[in-house]
Amino acid sequence: MAVLSAAGANGGQPGGPSRLPLVGRDQAPLTIRSLYAAGEPSNITKALAGSPDTLAAMAPFLSRVMNPTTLDLATKEVVVLRVSAANRCAYCVPTHEVAARRAGLSPAAVAALSSPGPPDERLAPRERTLARYCDQVVADAGAVGDALLAEMREHFEDHEIVELTVLAGAITTLNYLASVAGLPLDPGTLDAG
């Protein structure tokens, strides 16, 4: 796993143009305008709005898997940040470094999740296991072995493992879109860090 600089290897620049259209609130079709959050939507939302039917279908799903459920937001941010780092997403990594700190992860944990190589002692055992699980899911989900699943079960119920795995897949989808589009960082992302 390699982490990209803010500029990224995908051709996007933090302040540069997106390679796919970004649809602002005023240009969004009425059928999806209500899905835009109050204020200026994120560039990932603007990119998804380029396909209104896709955004309309994905918004409730993403809201469900990314927001707290029986799993807290900090745990979900472990997945989002580690998967984004594994997928080398120059938009999602810096964005979720900020989100992870806001969710309560320590600066050391955020740095560990964003760093290449195996998760280390900067992470608590539960976070370290989850980071290793994310690494394996991104590298080859079919190769998740019984030993790793048993280790996951020391920290998570089966229904939580399902939810975390679905979250990893959803984030991979967003990582792909952000990388193909070369999404520029949202204004203030790096300043908020």
What secondary structure does DSSP assign to 22-73, as a single string?
A: ---GGGS-HHHHTTSPSSSPPHHHHHHTTSHHHHHHHHHHHHHHHS-SSS-H
Domains of the chain, residue spans: 25-66, 73-182
How far is Cα 178 from Cα 99, in angstroms, rounded to an integer? 17
Q: Among all chains, which residue has been given the structure tokens 């980071």?
A: 131
Asked if 143 contacts 136 with a C-beta cutoff of 8 angstroms, the reply is: yes
Asked if 193 contacts 101 with a C-beta cutoff of 8 angstroms, the reply is: yes
Going by CATH, does the domain composed of 73-182 fall within 1.20.1290.10? yes
Quick one: what percent of the chain has pLDDT higher than 70? 90
pLDDT of 185 reads: 95
pLDDT band at 114 (very low <50, low <70, confident <90, very high): very high
Q: What is the mean pLDDT of residues 128-133?
A: 98
Other beta carbons less than 10 A from residue 40's beta carbon: 13
| Top-confidence residue, 37 or 78 | 78
